[in-house]
Amino acid sequence: MKDIIFTIETNKKIAKNTYEMVLLGDCADIKCGQFVNLKIEGFYLRRPISVCNVEGDRLTLIYKVVGQGTEVMAKMEKGEEILTLTGLGNGYDISKSGDKPLLVGGGAGVPPMYQLCRELVKMGKAPSVILGFNSKDEVFYENEFKALGANVIVATADGSYGVKGFVTDAFQMVDYTYFYTCGPEPMLKAVYNKSVTSGQFSFEERMGCGFGACMGCSCKTKYGNKRICKDGPVLEKEEIIW
Amino acid sequence: MVSLKTNLCGIELDNPLIPASGTFGFGYEFAEIYDINMLGSFSFKGTTKDAGFGNPTPRIAECKNGLINSVGLQNPGVHKVLENELPKLKACFHKPVMANVSGFSVEDYVYTVKMLDSEPQIGWFEVNVSCPNVHGGGMSFGTSPEAAAEVTRAVKAVTNKPVIVKLSPNVTDIVAIAKACEEAGADGISLINTLLGMRIDLKSKKPVIANKMGGFSGPAIKPVAVRMVYQVYEAVKIPIVGGGGVESAEDVIEMMLAGASAVQVGAANLVDPMACPKIIEDLPRVMEKYGIKDLKDIIGGAH
Ligand SMILES: Cc1cc2nc3c(=O)[nH]c(=O)nc-3n(C[C@H](O)[C@H](O)[C@H](O)COP(=O)(O)OP(=O)(O)OC[C@H]3O[C@@H](n4cnc5c(N)ncnc54)[C@H](O)[C@@H]3O)c2cc1C
Ligand SMILES: Cc1cc2nc3c(=O)[nH]c(=O)nc-3n(C[C@H](O)[C@H](O)[C@H](O)COP(=O)(O)O)c2cc1C
Ligand code: FES
């Protein structure tokens, strides 16, 4: 864990209520599937956001405007600084992926799938990616995933783009050895029930600290109590209690 | 040269800073980013007889200048604390530590203190009679002078280490409770714990916290804390550990002027893990600014 001042390089809207922020700073500590915790001026607690991508000293985050903090973030401009705790959480275990991993991202859960996909491709794996959104105007990063060489399927709940339905409705279109998923809890539950292999789930919880000190984010697992921020956010299918 | 040294119940502290229970785990998360031996001491996570998960989530709610937590007393239970947490703590912290204990009955407190008493690294017991989070738990002890005194007496009977009773601010007469604890043999008083608070989410139109209410802390509560430390200092002779909303060297000095011999920092550690080292580094400068040579000299200076 490090607390680092990042400088905004770009901050732009990429879909409905959805922004991509590229930050410049020391990314040495950051692992795939981890998150960072941003100190936004005017707010007492920090805002946890998943790592979408890291290349050199460039950290990419994608966030949805859902409340006051993210609203302020959306108005921030190039050159502004953000104090950021990095290296938080366990991240994905990519060694378990098998040859044909499936990546399932829903809405604000899509971003962490990007770096994961990049790393799996680099390892010579052939990932399939299912991205779920409510409707066409919310879709983002389809082309970015395709550019990595992944097999990409987009599903929209209202059918305005790609497959009509939920991410799980696209499961029969792919053949997979293992899966990774991040998204709203009802989606995670559906993936849990529909999936036929083992896999890893990325969870969210309201956080006090984000680095394991306050016990604010605990959850029960088959292997005992875990803190989403420190022992998670990634949990394995086998340990989840639903 | 200024002196940051202070004394708490006969134990010398290099400086008055003590990270507050529940915001510092068992120390080792923070030891990853700085040498925690620079602290005066720290108070470890509230420990109970049996393991507990605490309250359901969500159990954190943001507020203006603070947060509400309803973590409850999540801890692995005193046996696992002895077996797993204290060895890890010892590896990174070499000073006397404050053992924060809680319970759901007088017997629980006694059991936990007895179990921990033989640990040489424990310098003080901080008996939390104030946690507002657990139904039928800590609350009842901290809100009546008789119950607080009963716990104090029972714990004093099973340890020779100093017993500091940590009080709840959610009472009408804090002085009466502090006095009752002093009469029952307490070696010190720690205050304040969190204020009972609540937030409601406008989108769902329901409380943010699963348990509806929780403990409010952070800079917003500092004036309440300063007032209570001041009042209790007038009424008791035993030392006071002051806390509530402290996040700067100025806050530390204010707390000591009110009457605190040592100062706890809670929520500030959560939003800035380097909060305590920054305060310690800043103290000499701020002391000089206000013409303070020795921190010990200003304890209760506002009276
Ligand atoms: C590990 C992790 C990774 C995340 N990654 C992303 C991401 O990549 N992209 C993205 O858009 N969102 C992500 N989120 C959700 C994001 O943290 C929230 O949307 C954001 O904190 C909302 O802040 P706000 O001030 O706009 O909302 P408000 O509702 O005004 O916030 C009030 C408080 O509640 C907290 N909060 C609100 N919603 C959530 C939530 N869903 N999860 C946790 N805390 C919440 C806030 O942090 C703040 O403390 C992630 C959450 C976690 C825990
Ligand atoms: C997340 C959290 C957990 C806490 N857990 C405990 C606890 O286990 N025992 C206890 O005596 N106080 C506990 N407290 C109270 C703090 O130790 C401290 O007394 C209080 O938060 C006021 O200080 P602050 O305003 O600096 O946070 C907790 C506070 C927070 C924020
Ligand atoms: S948010 Fe503090 S322990 Fe996870």
Instruction: Return the residue matching tokens 């020795």.
Output: B294
Provide the pLDDT for residue B135. 44
Rg (Cα) of chain A, in Å, rounded? 17
> Amino acid identity, residue A141?
Y
Query: Per-domain residue ranges for chain A?
Result: 2-88, 94-202
Ligand 3 centre and the CA of B215: distance in Å?
A: 16
Query: Count H helices, E strands: chain B?
Result: 11, 15
3-state secondary structure labels for all residues of A157-222: CCCCCCEECCHHHHHHHCCCCEEEEECCHHHHHHHHHHCCCCEEEECCCCCCCCCCCCCCCEEEEC
Ligand 2 environment, Cβ below 6 A: A 208, 214, 216; B 20-23, 45-46, 69, 71, 73, 100, 128, 131, 166, 193-194, 217-218, 221, 243-246, 265-268
Q: Name the strand (E) or helix (H) holding B197.
A: strand B195-198
Q: Mind listing the pLDDT tens digit for each residue in B173-224?
A: 999 999 999 999 999 999 999 999 999 999 999 999 999 999 999 999 999 9
> Considering all CA atoms of chain B, what is the largest pairwise distance in Å, rounded to the nearest integer?
56
Q: Are B11 and B162 in contact (CB under 8 A)?
A: yes
% residues pLDDT > 70 (chain A)? 100
% residues pLDDT > 90 (chain B)? 90
Provide the pLDDT for residue A235. 97
Is residue B78 classed exposed, middle or buried when 0-12, 13-18 and 19+ CB atoms within 10 A define those classes?
buried
- The backbone region for B2, taken as left when phi is positive above 0, alpha when psi lies in -120 to 50, beta otherwise, is beta
Q: Which value, to the nearest 10 degrees, does the dihedral of the CA atoms of residues B168, B169, B171, B172 take? A: 150
Class (C level, CATH) for B6-55+73-196+217-298: alpha beta
% residues pLDDT > 90 (chain A)? 99
Mean pLDDT, chain B, integer: 95
Atom from ligand 3 closest to the CA of residue A227: 4
CATH architecture of A94-202: 3-Layer(aba) Sandwich (3.40)
Average pLDDT over residues A180-203: 96
Task: Say whether domain A2-88 belongs to CATH 2.40.30.10.
Answer: yes
Phi, psi of A167 (to 5 degrees): -55, -35
Q: Mind listing the pLDDT tens digit for each residue in B125-173?
A: 999 997 544 445 445 688 889 989 999 999 999 999 999 999 999 999 9
Residue B281, pLDDT > 60, answer yes
User: Considering only alpha carbons, which residue of chain B is nearest residue A209?
Assistant: B270
Provide the pLDDT for residue B133. 41
Does A41 lie at the interface with B, CB-CB under 8 angstroms?
no
Report the residue of A72, A214, A217, A229 to disrupt the B interface, i.e. the one with the largest count of B CBs within 10 Å: A214
Sign of the Cα torsion A30, A35, A40, A44 reads negative
Average pLDDT over residues B41-55: 94
Instruction: Respond yes or no on whether ipTM tops 0.85.
Output: yes
B136 compared with B102, residue with greater pLDDT:
B102
Provide the pLDDT for residue B131. 52
% residues pLDDT > 70 (chain B)? 97
3-state DSSP helix/strand/coil percent for chain A, to nearest 5? 20, 35, 40
Q: How confident is the model at residue B104 (pLDDT cuts 50, 70, 90)?
A: confident
Mean pLDDT, chain A, integer: 96
Which ligand has the shortest distance to the CA of A202? 1
B269 compared with B105, residue with greater pLDDT:
B269
Average pLDDT over residues B76-101: 97
Q: Would you state the structure tokens that stand for residue B22, as one six-digit string?
A: 């529940």
Q: Mind listing the pLDDT tens digit for each residue in B224-248?
A: 999 999 999 999 999 999 999 999 9
Average pLDDT over residues A228-241: 96
